[in-house]
């Protein structure tokens, strides 16, 4: 009897409280996704009424819809619906995803931009992963063929922007490649898997290798734009378009690089990509000027820090990439991931139900040099947040600590 009182009873009490604690933790995580689903349900109602894809909020507070002609962000909204379908199993999200991605299916034939990877992998790519619908596969392959037309073997890269019009024409570039372009490679790796034809993967690998060679500085931060001579492959300029200066580190660009090389490692298992991703993570996570809450300023070297806007989109892309990198790396990124996700779940960053035009997260930046989308919600900040929450659940929550 004494033994029961002295040892067994205290043990049982400890076990009870530790189970309660674990339940509370899980509940907190689940409630983030539940809250997100409620908010996104309101956004879908708004989108269905207009039959348009939400991108951000305009300066006048009205919804800014993705351009119908083509918009590099158009895949993220249906992509978020696919993630909600994955998280909840509710068919209404599958129907929403299919309906909104169908709006831009014909863009799979466009050869005038490099964003086809973003657009089609986040929408149709997730759709194919979850449903194995053969029609989605065809869309991914057609988009990959269109993207491949922009690969130049002299340069060893996919051209990011055409320079025949718009603000890009004013810059004197011939063959600009932006670090963001690393995000288009996942579609190409998938296309090789789907077709058995290695040409897509080979182009992706060449692009990734050329980018390692020319985009990164000694401290492992990256330039935004590298401009090449398309005949000789020679580097003409190393500059910025969306960052503070040519020599600064634009926050979202660092996040795109981190994510892109993590994906390259996933498909190739080539250690140099793992090392590159780790080096970028090291730069991002050890940068002295980043605020304690883990959400970076829009550029690590912006002029008026701490009086500069944060960029939540950079934080969500980083968190999602780190969760994947954490699986492959001997480094431990869990603390940094928890910090970012816990901060994003606070009222400072998560909108109250029905506010923020029904986007989930506040405080992102599109492009300050273009005076465009400053301190606003962005559909891609929400997309990578959904992805990070799902990845987090899959990686760190075991059955024993599920409710
Ligand atoms: N080009 C994509 C971005 O603004 O990050």
pLDDT in tens, 332-349: 999 999 999 999 999 999
User: Each residue of 218-228: pLDDT tens digit?
Assistant: 999 999 999 99
In the prediction, which pLDDT does 4 show? 52
Gap from CA of 231 to ligand 1 centroid (Å): 26
Read off the pLDDT band of 161 (50, 70, 90): very high
Instruction: Report the CATH number that the domain containing residue 401 is assigned in CATH.
Output: 1.50.10.10
Ramachandran region, residue 358 (left: φ > 0; alpha: ψ -120 to 50; beta: rest): left
User: Each residue of 260-279: pLDDT tens digit?
Assistant: 999 999 999 999 999 999 99
- Whether 332 is covered by a domain: the verdict is yes
- Whether 159 is covered by a domain: the verdict is no
- Whether 93 is covered by a domain: the verdict is no
Gap from CA of 46 to ligand 1 centroid (Å): 25
- State the closest ligand 1 atom to the C-alpha of 256, by its place in the atom list counted from 1: 5
Read off the pLDDT band of 22 (50, 70, 90): very low
Query: Which residues approach ligand 1 with their CB closer than 6 A?
Result: 72, 180, 242, 252
**Top mutation candidate among 117, 242, 257 for ligand 1, by most atoms within 8 Å of CB:** 242
Considering only CA atoms, which residue is closest to atom 4 of ligand 1? 366
- Whether 103 is covered by a domain: the verdict is no
pLDDT at 259 over 70: yes
Q: How many CB atoms lie within 10 A of CB 273?
A: 23
**Top mutation candidate among 256, 365, 383 for ligand 1, by most atoms within 8 Å of CB:** 256
Q: Write out the residue range of the structural domain in which residue 337 sits.
A: 1-51+255-403
Measured between alpha carbons, how far is 239 from 135 in angstroms, rounded to an integer?
40
Q: How far is CA 95 from CA 47, 167, 195, 364, in A?
A: 13, 37, 27, 28
Considering only CA atoms, which residue is closest to atom 3 of ligand 1? 180
In the prediction, which pLDDT does 13 show? 47
Measured between alpha carbons, how far is 198 from 201 in angstroms, rounded to an integer?
5
Measured between alpha carbons, how far is 174 from 177 in angstroms, rounded to an integer?
10
- Whether 366 is covered by a domain: the verdict is yes
User: Each residue of 33-58: pLDDT tens digit?
Assistant: 999 999 999 999 999 999 999 999 99
**Top mutation candidate among 55, 56, 72 for ligand 1, by most atoms within 8 Å of CB:** 72
- Whether 203 is covered by a domain: the verdict is no
Gap from CA of 180 to ligand 1 centroid (Å): 6
When divided into structural domains, the chain yields a total of 1
- Whether 96 is covered by a domain: the verdict is no
- Whether 114 is covered by a domain: the verdict is no
Which residues does the annotation mark as catalytic?
115, 180
Residue in this structure with the two tokens 């530790």, named with its chain if needed: 18
Gap from CA of 366 to ligand 1 centroid (Å): 7
Full-model pTM: 0.92
Gap from CA of 7 to ligand 1 centroid (Å): 60
Considering only CA atoms, which residue is closest to atom 1 of ligand 1? 180
């Amino acid at each position: 009897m004494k033994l029961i009182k002295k040892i067994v009873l205290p043990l049982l009490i400890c076990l009870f409280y530790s189970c309660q604690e674990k339940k509370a933790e899980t509940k907190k995580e689940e409630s983030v996704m539940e809250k997100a689903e409620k908010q996104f349900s309101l956004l879908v109602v708004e989108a269905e009424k207009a039959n348009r894809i939400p991108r951000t909020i305009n300066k006048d507070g009205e919804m800014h819809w993705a351009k119908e002609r083509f918009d590099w962000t158009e895949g993220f909204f249906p992509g978020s619906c696919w993630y909600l379908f994955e998280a909840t199993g509710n068919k209404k999200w599958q129907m929403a995803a299919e309906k909104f991605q169908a709006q831009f299916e014909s863009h799979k034939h466009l050869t005038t931009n490099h964003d086809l990877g973003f657009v089609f992998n986040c929408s149709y790519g997730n759709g194919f992963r979850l449903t194995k619908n053969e029609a989605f596969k065809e869309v991914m392959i057609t988009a990959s063929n269109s993207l491949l037309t922009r690969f130049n073997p002299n340069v060893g890269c996919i051209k990011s922007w055409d320079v025949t019009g718009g603000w890009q024409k004013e810059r004197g570039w011939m063959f600009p490649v932006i670090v963001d372009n690393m995000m288009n490679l996942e579609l190409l790796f998938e296309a090789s898997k789907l077709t058995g034809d290695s040409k897509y993967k080979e182009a992706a690998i060449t692009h990734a290798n050329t980018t390692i060679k020319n985009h990164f500085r000694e401290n492992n931060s990256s330039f935004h734009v590298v401009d090449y001579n398309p005949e000789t492959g020679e580097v003409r300029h190393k500059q910025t378009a969306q960052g503070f200066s040519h020599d600064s580190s634009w926050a979202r660009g660092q996040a795109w690089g981190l994510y892109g090389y993590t994906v390259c490692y996933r498909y190739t298992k080539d250690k140099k990509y793992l090392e590159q991703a780790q080096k970028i993570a090291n730069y991002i996570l050890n940068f002295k000027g980043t605020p304690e809450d883990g959400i970076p300023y829009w550029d690590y070297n912006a002029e008026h820090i701490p009086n500069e806007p944060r960029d939540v989109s950079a934080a969500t892309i980083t968190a999602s990439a780190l969760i994947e990198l954490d699986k492959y790396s001997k480094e431990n990124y869990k603390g940094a991931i928890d910090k970012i996700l816990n901060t994003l779940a606070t009222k400072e960053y998560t909108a109250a139900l029905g506010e923020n035009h029904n986007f989930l997260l506040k405080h992102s930046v599109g492009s300050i040099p273009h005076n465009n989308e400053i301190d606003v919600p962005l559909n891609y900040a929400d997309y990578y947040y959904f992805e990070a929450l799902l990845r987090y659940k899959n990686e760190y929550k075991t059955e024993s600590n599920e409710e």
